[in-house]
């Protein structure tokens, strides 16, 4: 409407147009969301860091957020929904659920890893792969249960047609699409990133001279 009005209407000097009603409310809400969304992500990051006390593990969990956003955006495109305040609320809720599922995945991976790290010897690449495979496999069932429960609860909202249904549909749509993509990508990408991080972490002490010398002395003593 703004584009057509600016093209077809020529205002005399001293006159101007303003757009009110729902459009004005949406513009006001959008300005607030520019603060709320970054604040929500910052709170999620802070809570994750307080739980894990590790920046790398916090960032690994946050990897589930862009994976969830991909499915939410594609589902909005499939339903031909435009961006709105309700859609933004749906994405904020999706970010919280995706972070929660990422936390559970990382807990399983950490548990499998620490069991091998406490075995007595220094874990190697084989132990990392075994821990990642064990943790990821154990996470498949609870992950799928979480996704199915959330989608099953939101599908009736997408099929509703009563008062306020148009708003509720736009809140539920990002969560339905986001949980599908988050389930598939989190089960594949987060374990792979976790394995790469653990391998990099194990390789760091080997780069220092004293540790290489001690390792050589151990190998020489074992050879004797």
Asked if residue 218 belongs to a domain, the reply is no
Per-residue tokens: 11:
């205002």
pLDDT for res 36: 82
- Range of 94's domain? 20-203
What's the pLDDT at 224? Answer: 39
Q: Give pLDDT tens digits for 80-121.
A: 888 888 888 888 888 888 888 888 888 888 887 777 766 655
Q: Are 186 and 147 in contact (CB under 8 A)?
A: no
Q: What are the residues whose beta carbons fall under 8 Å from the beta carbon of 55, sequence distance 6 or more?
A: 49
In a domain, 217, yes or no: no
Residue 46 CB coordination number (10 Å): 11
Instruction: Report the alpha-carbon distance of residue 17 to residue 173 in Å, rounded.
Output: 34
Residue 205 confidence (pLDDT): 56
Largest CA distance in the chain: 98
pLDDT recorded at residue 119: 60
Residue 10 in any domain: the answer is no
Q: Note whether residue 211 is domain-resident.
A: no
Identify the segments of the chain with pLDDT beneath 50.
206-224
**CA 110 – CA 96 distance, rounded (Å):** 21
Residue 123 has a pLDDT of 64
Is residue 191, in this structure, part of any structural domain at all?
Answer: yes
Angle, CA of 49, 54 and 55, to the nearest 5°: 80
Residue 109 lies in a domain: yes
In a domain, 170, yes or no: yes
> The domain that contains 102 carries what CATH number?
1.20.1640.10
pLDDT at 158: 83
Cα 20 to Cα 39: distance, rounded to the nearest angstrom? 28
Cα-to-chain-centroid distance, residue 179: 10
d(CA 199, CA 214): 20
Q: How many distinct structural domains can be found in the chain?
A: 1
Any domain includes 213: no
């Amino acid at each position: 409407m703004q584009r057509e009005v600016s093209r077809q209407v020529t205002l005399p000097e001293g006159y101007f147009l303003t757009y009110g009603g729902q459009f004005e409310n949406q513009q006001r809400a959008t300005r607030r969301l520019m603060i709320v969304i970054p604040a929500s992500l910052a709170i999620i990051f802070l809570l994750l860091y307080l739980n894990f006390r590790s920046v790398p593990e916090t960032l690994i969990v946050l990897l589930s957020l862009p994976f969830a956003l991909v499915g939410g955006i594609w589902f909005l495109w499939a339903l031909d929904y435009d961006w709105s305040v309700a859609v933004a609320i749906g994405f904020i809720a999706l970010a919280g659920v995706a972070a929660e599922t990422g936390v559970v995945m990382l807990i399983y991976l950490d548990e499998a890893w620490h069991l091998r790290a406490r075995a007595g010897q220094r874990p190697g690449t084989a132990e990392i792969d075994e821990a990642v495979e064990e943790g990821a496999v154990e996470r498949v069932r609870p992950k799928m249960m979480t996704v199915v429960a959330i989608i099953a609860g939101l599908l009736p909202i997408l099929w509703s047609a009563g008062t306020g249904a148009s708003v509720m549909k736009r809140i539920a749509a990002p969560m339905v699409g986001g949980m599908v993509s988050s389930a598939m990508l989190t089960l594949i990408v987060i374990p792979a990133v976790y394995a790469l991080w653990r391998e990099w972490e194990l390789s760091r002490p080997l780069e220092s001279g004293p540790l290489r010398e001690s390792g050589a002395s151990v190998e020489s003593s074992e050879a004797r």
